[in-house]
Structure 1
Amino acid sequence: MVKSDFDAVVLGSGPNGLAAAITLQQKGLSVLLIEGRKDIGGGLRSAQLTLPGFIHDICSAIHPLGIGSPFFSTLPLREHGLEWIHPPVAAAHPLDIPAHTAGPSDITKAATLVRSPEATALSLGVDEAAYLRLVTPLTQHWPLLAPDLLAPLHFPAHPLLMAKFGYQGIPSVTHLARRFRTAEAKALIAGMAAHAMQPLSNLTTAAVALIFLMTGHGKGWPLPRGGSAALAQALAAYFTALGGIIHTGTYITQLSQLPSSRALLLDLTPRQLLQLGGHRWSSLYRWQLEKYRYGMGVFKIDWALDGAVPFAAAGCREAGTVHLGNTFDEIAAAEALTARGGHAEKPFVLLTQQSLFDDSRAPQGKHTGWAYCHVPGGSRKDMTATIEAQVERFAPGFRERILARHTMDTAQMEEYNPNYIGGDINGGVMDIRQLFTRPALRRSPYRTSAKGIYICSSATPPGGGVHGMCGYHAARRALKDIFR
């Protein structure tokens, strides 16, 4: 047998590529991780995008699935520089509701997600008991549910718990919302489900809402001190401490450029697989990759601010994440319109304010802001004014605090990270048709049709998010297939 240069090569250093490389390296194999950009991280990068001294997260910012990842939680990342910061309020959702039939709007109300389910339920008024009945049993069992939920389709380790979760999570969040009477409770779960980047009437959107609620109550929604890049750097430091090798600044355009290896793992999406090695795939696999569906894109803004975002609702001023979308119906209408190819006048905006809790992000007395809204895939429309109007709606005086801004439309998001096809940060639509069959209907979703080549990106189960589980499961598949 001809000796390979490496036991395994991993292409792409996002959280899934890093997870795959670590999983293989932990078994004592020789592993090379290749990254096209000069910096590792994929969606885990931070930079001074606006003014000197203002550190912005280029893509992901808050990490409920990062700290809750069944794989990452086993790693000694604190020993390699990672420090999690927990805001007092994980997420807040302000409401713009008329105080009287013909009176002015009240924007001081907000539903708040905190670690305590009981304290969260208090912000939901008469829905307090209904909320606790929904989330308490699931939250108590999150450590047992997480490995099954963040995995490919398989017989679960805890079938009864999974059946209970499925009963709650398979329907749409529109169905789930009927359990509640208050605008606060309905809005809170709508904002959670909107992370799925699909109409709220779709099946399994309830599951997305429940997972984000469970992570909030379980381990919180933290941010890494110094920026999201700190998580990538800690993962890379652990990988190299195990003996792994990282090469950066090397764009691979064809498989022949890669050194020889017994296993190749690609942290790429189907369109890139077709470009990189279409001739290597079987006709059926190539046909399935061509049919793979990408979803909504995002338009993102980073701000350098002269002060904190002046939210009218007190809960928002203590939150790491703020969901701006108002009522359930308003969010549902905006997401449905975006899915049809339109641009909402009042879109769902996901905003984070890391500098409130991490003083390394901005000069003293100044602050950063980070936000995006959903747009049709490939949209080039400038949503700056629309997003800032939505922030101003709940934080009067916000515009006066803007010192500088940096924007990225869907094309610029894809240029920054080629995995974000059309600005889709989830690596493809995560609806019920494509949740477990991503990227193709196969016995193992991580195997390609070419022996020894695997896909380990968010285009495989369990999909988008900073959890590394796609890479972990792909590497486990390679270990079983090739290294026994």
Structure 2
Amino acid sequence: MATTDYDVIVVGSGPNGLAAAITLQRSGARVLMVESRPQIGGGMRTSEVTLPGFLHDICSAVHPMAMGSPFFARLPLEQFGLRFAWSEYEAAHPLDNGKAAVLARSIQDTALGLGADGGAYTQLIKPVADHWNEIASDALGPFSFPGHPLLMARFGWNALRSASMVAKRFVTPEARALWAGMAAHSIQPLTNIASAAIGMVLSAAGHRFGWPVPVGGSQAIGNALAAYFRQLGGEIQTGFHVTSLEQLPSHKAVVFDLTPKQLLQIAGDRFPAGYRRQLEKYRYGPGVFKIDFALDGPVPFTAPECRKAITVHLGGTFEEIALSEQLAASGKHSEAPFVLFSQQSIADKRAPDGKHTGWAYCHVPNGSTKDMTEIIEKQIERFAPGFRDLILARHTMNAVEMENYNPNYVGGDINGGISDLGQLYTRPTLSLTPYRTAATGIYICSSATPPGGGVHGLCGYHAANVVLKDIF
């Protein structure tokens, strides 16, 4: 019997690849992680892409799910330099009348700001926030019989509805707009069944943990995870671009932190025809157009609350946001899109003294090459007159360039595949163990598996446990 160089090889060093590698290494496996780029991290990378001294998060920026992840909670990442910074408000949503709705850390404060809708908001979100520890493992994992069935049934009653249906609970423009911004993180039409789930989860996570940023940039999360993995005895090799299984050293199992598109390119010939067809039918959602700004000062939002929130949702009313999300999903570009804007430097120094950084994206059709710079800046200027006068430099990436930067963002889809009802739990295939492919020893752990997109590591954690059960 031939000697095995490694027990498991993990291909890709995003949060899920790192989580899988750590879980396997902690369980006694000998693990090698390979990454095609010179730097580990996947969507957790930070770089000076505009001007020297301005640190920009290239992909992920704000991390409520990292704080709320049952997997990350078990890791001693603070020992490896990981620290977080919070703003006064977790998120803010301005309207044209100069007012803004806010997601405050306190449910009571959030509800108070929503006036007549405070009770409806509390009734929707408080049970999720109060029972996060009981339902997180069930809500953020593969389909299975829940450990707390009554709590999950209550969560699912609303989460499996469309965001548009849940919006009917609210009567004030502020509450409807705040809800629209939360639900729009699902990157799909707000009329889709189950589009309410991400809005509920993100709101509840904000109340439990906040919406912080890592000190020094998102790269700090990747660096801490990698340092912990190495301390456990794991090995990392960067600059290793995998195009076939034959490139890899001897192993018992390989775990891919890649989407079905890349998995097929590398290992498609190992799969039976039926499984290949399922992967080929996997659906990707809208892409994003992203801008990083170097700014000469803080963003002059009209609503003062927006100056105190790292995350600002721009797009006006529920109806406006719902329309822009529907257009992106149907292959059209909105002239007034929902813009997710982050100003990390109000809480964490990311720029020279007196200067600031800005991070913004809007949703566009998958594979779009349209330059949305003018449209995004117009939306920011709408709620922050004078913003354009502060721009010292900008760096843009259209949806195709996003995929070129990170092949997991197929067509610019940063969620690794649309999370509608058809793929919420059945990603990438219909299976009780979606992390196990149809080929012995080959597994997938990317955000194309449950629970989907976000920096939480849970796709990798669940995949690693399947590997351990199968191989060890």
TM-score by length of 1: 0.97
Q: Specify the alignment match of 1:148 in structure 2.
A: 138
**SS of 1:301 mapped into structure 2:** strand
Whether 1:139 and 2:111 are equivalent positions in the alignment is no
Is this contact kept in 1: 2:128–2:201, CA < 8 A?
no
Residue in 1 that maps onto 2:70: 70
Q: What's the counterpart of residue 319 of structure 1? A: 309
Q: Residue 77 of structure 2 contacts residue 225 of structure 2 at CA under 8 Å; is this kept in 1?
A: yes
Q: Which residue of 2 aligns with 1:118?
A: 108
Q: Does 1:86 align with 2:95?
A: no
Please say if residues 296 and 355 of structure 2, whose CA atoms lie closer than 8 Å, have aligned partners that are also in contact: yes
Give the residue type in structure 1 aligned to 2:414.
I
Residues 46-445 of structure 1 correspond to what in structure 2 (within 5 A)?
46-96=46-96, 106=97, 108-359=98-349, 361-445=350-434
- Residue equivalent to 1:24: 24
Residue 28 of structure 1 deviates from its aligned partner by 1.7
What amino acid is aligned across from residue 102 of structure 2 in structure 1? T
Matches of 1:207 and 1:443, distance apart in 2: 20
The corresponding residue for 1:452 is 441
- Give the Å deviation of 1:59: 0.1
Question: How much does 1:456 deviate?
Answer: 0.4
Write the deviation string for residues 350-393 of structure 1: whole angstroms up to 9, x where unpaired: 0000011111x100000000000000000000000000000000
- Quote the residue 1:12 is aligned against: 12
**Is contact 2:342-2:360 (8 Å) kept?**
yes
Paired letter, 1:434: Q
Question: Could you tell me how far apart the structure 2 residues matched to 1:353 and 1:236 are?
Answer: 26
Residue 316 of structure 1, CA deviation: 0.4
* 2:469 counterpart of 1:480: yes
Pairing of 1:456-471 with structure 2 (within 5 A): 456-471=445-460
2: distance between equivalents of 1:138 and 1:364?
A: 40
For the residue of structure 2 that corresponds to 1:300, the secondary structure is strand
Let me know the Cα RMSD of the aligned residues.
0.7
SS, match of residue 321 in structure 1: strand
User: Which residue type is aligned with residue 383 of structure 2?
Assistant: F
Secondary structure at 1:371 match in 2: strand
Which whole-Å CA distance do the structure 2 matches of 1:136 and 1:27 have between them?
Answer: 36
1: CA distance, partners of 2:168 / 2:266 = 47
Matched position secondary structure for 2:59: coil
Cα distance in structure 2, aligned partners of 1:220 and 1:143? 15
Per-residue deviation at 1:205? 1.0
**Partner deviation per Cα, 1:136-172 (whole Å, 9 max, x = no partner):** 2221101111111110000111000000001111110
| Whole-Å separation in 2 of the counterparts to 1:47 and 1:364 | 18
CA distance in 1, matches of 2:83, 2:457: 18
Between the aligned partners of 2:127 and 2:369, the Cα distance in structure 1 is 44
Residue segments in structure 1 that go unaligned for 5+ positions in a row: 97-105
Distance 2:233 2:72 in 1: 18
State the 1:122 CA deviation: 1.4
Aligned with 1:403: secondary structure? strand
Q: What's the secondary structure of 2:33's corresponding residue?
A: strand
In structure 2, how many angstroms separate the alpha carbons of the residues matched to 1:170 and 1:273?
30
Q: Distance in 2 between matches of 1:4 and 1:114?
A: 52
Deviation at 1:442, TM superposition (A): 2.4
CA distance in 1, matches of 2:121, 2:219: 35
Identity across matched positions, percent: 62
Query: What is the identity, as a one-letter code, of the residue corresponding to 2:85?
Result: I
Q: Give the aligned residue type for 2:261.
A: R
Aligned length, in residue pairs: 472
User: How far is the alpha carbon of 1:6 from its aligned partner?
Assistant: 0.2
Q: Which amino acid in 2 is paired with 1:245?
A: E
How far is 1:207 from its partner? 1.2
Unpaired runs of 5+ residues, structure 2, are none
CA contact (8 A) 2:159 2:196 kept: yes
SS at structure 2 position matched to 1:414: helix
- Cα deviations across residues 302-342 of structure 1 (Å, max 9, x unaligned)? 00000011100111000010000110000001111111110
> Aligned to 1:24, what secondary structure does the other structure show?
helix
Determine the C-alpha separation between the residues in 2 that align with 1:5 and 1:364. Answer: 50
- Give distance in 2, aligned partners of 1:134 and 1:436: 22
How big is the shift at 1:132? 1.5
Cα pair 2:70 2:137 within 8 Å, conserved: yes
Task: Tell me, yes or no, if the aligned pair for 2:143 and 2:432 is still in contact at 8 Å.
Answer: no
Q: Which runs of 4+ in 1 moved over 4 A?
A: none
Asked if the contact 2:12–2:35 (Cα under 8 Å) also holds between the matched residues in 1, the reply is yes
TM-score under structure 2 length normalisation: 0.99
**Shift of the alpha carbon at 1:269?**
0.5
Moved more, 316-325 or 125-134: 125-134
Equivalent-residue separation in structure 2 for 1:262 and 1:271 (angstroms): 23
Q: Report what 1:102 is aligned to.
A: none
AA aligned opposite 1:91 = A
